[in-house]
Amino acid sequence: MKIGIIGAGSLGLLYGGYLATEHAVTMFPRSLEQAEKLCEHGITVCGENCFQVNVLSTMDVSALNEQDVIFVTVKQYHLMSIVNMLKNIESSIPLVFLQNGMGHLTLLETLPQQIILVGTVEHGATRKNEMTVSHNGVGKTNIAFFCGHSDLLLKFFSSQPEQFKFVHHDHYELMLLHKCFANAMINPLTAILKVKNGELIRNSFYYKIFQSLFEELISLFPQLDREAMYRSVKNLCLSTKENESSMLKDIKKGSKTEIDAILGYMLGKASEREQHVPIMTAIYQIVKGMELDGTIK
């Protein structure tokens, strides 16, 4: 299968690396320099076992129409900058979106593609350089059809190895909500406190903030199982206790975060329900201020 990957950050390199072990992968990075390096050196994935694969890489977006399926791995706030490119991809080519949050769903409704999938990523990945990614934690990719259907794609997803497995879900909104809820709980708090995930549970004072934030969030979604969600998020903190959240990494680099896609979406829901969420609002404003300051190291 010919697979295109838009974006060559940590996720793009991780998916490009694993998928290129069995398929013809073409990377579509943002810079010519990275495209040339990927063509020359391929992608190196470092984890329990390091491996290197050859890939194609190009800045020629017309090559997108030569692919059988395209993974879009750029961060949610970069989607608007590539929307025209996405709309020029042939409508018969499926697109797979791997973004945090749920704010991009409105954009997906404007695309002409007959088959669109959305996914949530449970792998840990850090980009070491333009050709190398560290696979910090083996998880899975949850996947669901946003529109259309394809038995061929389901067969493709189910054929991936256990170390890089895909799990199909029937309801995309519920799948995305579970991940967005967990991200809203963990990412902003770890970014503000500058701690690894496990500290939100280990430190009794941080844990009280964690619990208070949970109460505000769960009140917005009566369809969710309260006890199950609490266990799920707490267990995620513990199972990734040595990991730094993507938002903390962004703050450390002085980069823009996905706070709008994650907590901004939740605040929008609170506004729709006319619910007062002071803790969530304060956390959102603090992260936005840290973005503006850009001096956290």
> What phi, psi does 71 have (nearest 5°)?
-95, 130
Clarify whether 179 is annotated catalytic: yes
Q: Could you tell me the sign of the dihedral formed by the alpha carbons of 256, 257, 261, 266, in that order?
A: negative
Q: Are the CB atoms for 9 and 15 separated by under 8 Å?
A: no
| Cα–Cα dist 6/16, whole Å | 10
Q: Are the CB atoms for 130 and 34 separated by under 8 Å?
A: yes
> What phi, psi does 220 have (nearest 5°)?
-80, -15
SS3 6: strand
Angle at 294 between CA 276 and CA 197, to 5 degrees: 60
Catalytic member of 75, 179, 234, 249: 179
- By annotation, the residues acting in catalysis are 179
